[in-house]
Chains A and B, each alone.
Chain A
Amino acid sequence: MSTEVLVLGIGNILWADEGFGVRCVEELDRRYAMAPGVEVLDGGTQGLYLVHRIRDAKRLVVFDAIDYGVEPGTLKLVRDDEVPKFHGVRKMSLHQTGFQDVLSAADLLGGGPSSVLLIGVQAGLLDDYGGSLTEPVRAQVGPALRVALDQLAAWGFPAVERAEPKPSLMEGGLDWRSYEAGRPSAEEACRVGDARFLPVQG
């Protein structure tokens, strides 16, 4: 059974800007109703386990935080055959398998999307465990959604803005607002430390 369009967010929400992809799909799902045939998926850090979802998708939009070595918050769009090359530059998260490996595994299984749009953002901060998106990256969620919505419309699957946002697809206090509101203070959570492994508090 194939999906017309899979809109996938990947990354680990516990790792500051690494949460960009998942927060994008959370917002997209909350604020927009998808056309029939479009599936929105919070892929987390599932890596290879996502291979069948990718293989079964005719078209794919992926939101992810990427390291291109440019200014944090820079939005970067990559399409189709360019995706594996770009995505494989540096593996920066805990994803067990790089996303480019998942794409090639889908290819090897005999399937995979004919069109891919990667909406990547340059991450600024990752090593803030329990933290959320930094300002420059947060500011790109709206523009990133716009790009995805335009692409969906261009493919013939226009999304419709909901009159009232629906509840988050994230359960158990992980929705964006609760996640940020419930964070323990820096003193309680011991977020100061050495330069290499922890953000130095100024």
Chain B
Amino acid sequence: MPAVTTPNGFNLDNTGRRVVVDPVTRIEGHMRVEVNLDDQGVIRNAVSTGTMWRGLEVILKGRDPRDAWAFTERICGVCTGTHALTSVRAVENALNISIPENANSIRNIMQLTLQVHDHLVHFYHLHALDWVDVVSALKADPKATSELAQSISDWPLSSPGYFKDLQNRLKKFVESGQLGPFKNGYWGHPGYKLPPEANLMAVAHYLEALDFQKEIVKIHTIYGGKNPHPNWLVGGVPCPINVHGVGAVGAINMVQLNLVSSIIDQTLEFTRKVYIPDLMAIASFYKGWMYGGGLSSKSVLSYGDIPEHANDYSAKSLLFPRGAIINGDLTKIHDVDLTDPSEIQEFVPHSWYTYDDESKGLHPWDGVTKANYVLGPNAKGTRTRIEAVDEGGKYSWIKAPRWKGNAMEVGPLARYIIGYAQGNPEFKEPVDKALRDLDAPVSALFSTLGRTLARGLECEWAAVKLRHFQDKLVATIKAGDSSTANTTKWDPSTWPKECKGVGFTEAPRGALGHWIKIRDGKIDNYQAVVPTTWNGSPRDNQGNIGAFEASLLDTPMQVPDQPLEILRTLHSFDPCLACSTHVMSPEGQELTRVQVR
């Protein structure tokens, strides 16, 4: 294929040598990426493939709509609750069920808790190792590390002795040969820029975050009854409130409300004193690495989430911004309607599915999930062992969703760009401050680092909103309203014979929608368009590329068989392939295979 320019404005050239990374590690699910490099080692073409078949939709067919949340919660291990919330909203929308104000507050607390938890774990445990060289930390001077830590934060765990102990533990761990979570790293890669002391500080915080995250999920245990896999309920939340109770089984009492409150305080403190300072310190060493912007400067989408008022899902009630920006025009925020069949459509010309007419996209309510695994004529290898896919043909188990025909980036950066463009100070001011502190222009936001920065700022935003909804919940309860569920339409005999609905949330990794059709009390059709379907989508009928592919273009690779730069950028999206696709690679390789041809 000669060099081409895509309708959405990216230059592609697949004539250079091809590098294959399969599977991409430290993500949920299975994913493969192929890139072509030019003579200077710069990425000129990128092809992202979801290597698993997606079939959540079909297993829900015929089930009780009131159970859909439990199934969707099992799709993967990461965004469990956010799928459940999206699902109960879809069913409530279909059946026209309103929920009590307390249920809205508790759901927001559950969702914001997930945001905070996911962002923190993503940054430290899935993404930081793309910037932090663990092995280099062994060479750090503990005293200098202490000085560095104290210069950026007044977090108390910062003495030379603390870092010395930690370094010894790390040394023993590495010497034992059990690298555990630190294996598969490209340690010593020239792309790592942090001095040993910053690396040691970051590794210390990696462990502190791992320890601290257990506190955050206690909120899920309290309001969801258990963790993992908290409980949800169509019509509200499953936890009764009894503030006068002393340990009544399953009921929320004052002791638990106070515990949640204290966890929120700790979360805010950890975010402000550890996460954000680390993020800024790391970013200051990587300011020269401004790659990975991809679609973010052109087209971004957010459905919005966190309704201030129960049952009001309009843009003015949603605290996460709602809207779409296309063609880089930040002066115009388009409204988004998930029920309009002409807005969100999924295309499959390059996906391993078949439609009767593949030149057209289908709105999720009319969605079809029918597998068609065929390789393009220029694919190399065999059906069971692909050496290189043919991006001219079908090449991914992910469909290609488009908003009014546009490929869109979703996620924290999309939300922050939309909030910023709206002039909302909650989003604009922290961004401006961070950019000022880094001495970077606004355009720096459109990058891998910008995506990672937005996630950190959003973690703090979510912690602040946690406080808001917890206070609101307590105030409502004190005013005498302890209702948490509306069960008037629980019985399917109260439902119409046929109905349809849509539920949406902003998952940590981006816009998430579930579309449901109910007939005779059972699920007739269920379609989920998940964030990684948006970001990881293959090309569409027009040849537009999706966010992952766009983000890899023009990035120089220093060592082609050590794809640190590719991982860094893909991880910045916090990809979750388990729900965007499905079924494993036949071998399930433990180690990443990197091929350079």
Contacts and interface: CB of A to CB of B under 8 A. Distances in A.
Interface of A: 12-14, 42-52, 67, 84, 88-98, 100-101, 103-105, 107-110, 126-127, 129-130, 170-174, 178, 182-184, 188-191, 193-198
Contacts of B58: 129-130, 184, 188-191
B71 interface: yes
Interface stretch (B366-374, B527-535, B565-573): B366-374
Contacts of A98: 590
A172 B71 contact: yes
Contacts of B578: 45, 94
A47 B25 CA distance: 14
Contact of A101 (B78, B180, B383, B582): B180
A107 B173 contact: yes
Nearest to B231: A171
A140 B572 CA distance: 42
Given A105-B210, A182-B62, A188-B61, A197 B583 contact: yes
Contacts of B30: 94
Nearest to B371: A193
A190 B27 CA distance: 28
Contacts of A108: 169-170, 173, 180-181, 207
Nearest to A56: B214
B128 to A, nearest CB: 13
Contacts of B444: none
A15 B198 CA distance: 42
B262 to A, nearest CB: 16
Q: Which of B29, B66, B74 has the most CB of A within 10 A?
A: B74
B587 interface: yes
Given A90-B587, A107-B180, A172 B373 contact: no
B210 A96 contact: no
B583 A129 contact: yes
A94 B53 contact: no
15 contacts: A13-B74, A14-B59, A14-B75, A45-B74, A90-B590, A94-B76, A96-B78, A103-B180, A108-B173, A108-B181, A172-B73, A174-B70, A190-B369, A193-B373, A197-B397
Interface string B42-56: 000000000011011
Contacts of B78: 96
The interface size bin for chain B is 35 or more
B586 A196 contact: yes
Interface of B: 26-30, 52-53, 55-56, 58-59, 61-64, 66-67, 69-71, 73-78, 80, 121, 125, 169-170, 173, 178-181, 183, 207, 210-211, 213-214, 217, 228-229, 231-232, 352, 369-371, 373, 383-384, 397, 578, 582-584, 586-590
A174 B75 CA distance: 12
A14 B74 contact: yes
Contacts of A13: 74
Contact of A44 (B71, B181, B228): B228
A194 B383 contact: yes
Given A103-B180, A109-B207, A173-B64, 18 more contacts: A49-B228, A52-B213, A89-B590, A91-B588, A94-B578, A98-B590, A101-B180, A101-B181, A104-B180, A189-B61, A190-B55, A193-B371, A194-B371, A196-B384, A197-B53, A197-B397, A197-B583, A198-B583
Contact of B383 (A46, A189, A195): A195
Nearest to A41: B228
Nearest to B212: A52
A67 B210 contact: no
Contacts of B76: 45, 94, 96
Given A14-B59, A189-B61, A197-B53, A92 B584 contact: yes
Contacts of B180: 100-101, 103-105, 107-108
Contacts of B70: 170-174
A108 B67 CA distance: 39
Nearest to B23: A91
B383 A105 contact: no
B590 A91 contact: yes
A130 B214 CA distance: 30
A104 B207 CA distance: 12
Contacts of A90: 587-590
B578 to A, nearest CB: 5
Contacts of A89: 590
A126 B210 contact: no
A52 B373 contact: no
Contacts of B584: 92-94, 126-127
Contacts of A129: 53, 55-56, 58-59, 582-583
A15 to B, nearest CB: 8
A84 B213 CA distance: 24
Q: Which of A50, A171, A174 has the most CB of B within 10 A?
A: A171
Contacts of B73: 172
B517 to A, nearest CB: 14
A84 B57 CA distance: 35
A101 B64 CA distance: 37
Contacts of A12: 74
B62 A188 contact: yes
Contacts of A44: 74, 77, 80, 228-229
Nearest to A170: B70
A109 B210 contact: yes
B134 to A, nearest CB: 11
B121 A49 contact: yes
A48 B125 contact: yes
Contacts of A42: 228-229
Contacts of A109: 207, 210-211
A173 B27 CA distance: 28
Contacts of B586: 196
Nearest to A88: B590
A94 B28 contact: yes
The 6 closest A-B pairs by CB, nearest first: A172-B70, A104-B180, A130-B59, A173-B67, A45-B77, A52-B214
